[in-house]
Chains A and B, each alone.
Chain A
Amino acid sequence: MSSQLGYARLYKPKVRLLWWLSRRSYLLFVLRELSSVFVAWTVVYLLLLVRAVSQGEAEYERFLHRAASPWLVVLNVVALAFVLFHAITFVNLTPQAMVLRVRGRRVPGRLLAVSLYLALFVVSAFLAWLVVG
């Protein structure tokens, strides 16, 4: 039997289009998946900033001025909420996805998560210092 035929014969239950609205945990799952869209938006936004800086001081000032417009502020508030949601859920998930061993002993999951939060704090502080000076 070819593998393709085998696949075609697999039982495929019908799934409703809005299955993820039926339970809170499903909804949270889809929201977590959607956080990736705001991760991408943040990258695009930062690249637009780099582009503005590359075009000179006036363009940099214009970028900051435009970023203060209401719709962009709202978009960035929502994006920040999602990016933070991503950061927290990703850190909390890491101990479950990764087994870290030091000298043959497994590092406890809680310790791994705490060190990631610490890294988040240190990296954030360093970047803020780098930007603001």
Chain B
Amino acid sequence: MPRRTVEPFVWLLFSGGGVAAALVLPVLLLLFGLALPLGWIGAPEYGHLLGVLRNPLTRLGLVAVCTLALVHWAHRFRYTLLDGLQLHRYDRAIVTACYGGALAGSVMAAYLLFIAV
């Protein structure tokens, strides 16, 4: 029997993260990275933003998007380093750093959205 690997599962998360990042991130970065800080449109009031962030659906949705997008980054960046810079020798260290980073970011997202806010 062929040895089972987690690879297909990671590729599934990679695709899910790709779609989530494609649908959600551009508009949020445009708003919070450029339009609001540069005053193109009036910034939302603090209370309104806090209310939106405290909605359970926002919390769940944002944690899911952050986690998926970070796994997408980890999986893609791993192969960028391996193939782009010919670092196949360091696969183990790169894997640890990439997926470890994604895990740390996801835990941070869950903490910020479910406990801190």
Contact = CB atoms under 8 A, between A and B. Distances in A.
Scoring A30, A86, A131 by chain B CB atoms within 10 A of each residue's CB, the highest score goes to A131
Nearest to A36: B76
Contacts of A99: none
A97 B15 contact: yes
Contacts of B69: 39-40, 42-43
A123 B65 CA distance: 13
Interface residues of A, number: 53
A57 B57 CA distance: 22
B84 A80 contact: no
B52 A83 contact: no
B29 A34 contact: no
Contacts of A73: 34, 37-38
B50 A64 contact: no
Contact of B23 (A50, A60, A120): A120
Interface string B93-116: 000000000000100110011001
Contacts of A53: 46, 49-50, 53, 117
Given A73-B34, A77-B34, A42 B84 contact: no
Question: Which of under 10, 10 to 19, 20 to 34, or 35 or more describes the interface residues of B?
Answer: 35 or more
B44 interface: yes
A25 to B, nearest CB: 14
A46 B76 contact: no
B111 to A, nearest CB: 10
| Closest CB pairs A-B (n = 8) | A76-B33, A67-B37, A36-B76, A87-B22, A40-B73, A124-B27, A54-B116, A68-B37
Interface of A: 15, 17, 20, 30, 33-34, 36-37, 39-40, 42-47, 49-51, 53-54, 57, 60-61, 64-65, 67-68, 72-73, 76-77, 79-80, 83-84, 86-87, 90-91, 94, 97, 116, 119-120, 123-124, 127-128, 130-133
Given A43-B69, A53-B53, A80-B26, 7 more contacts: A39-B69, A40-B77, A42-B25, A49-B32, A50-B117, A86-B22, A131-B32
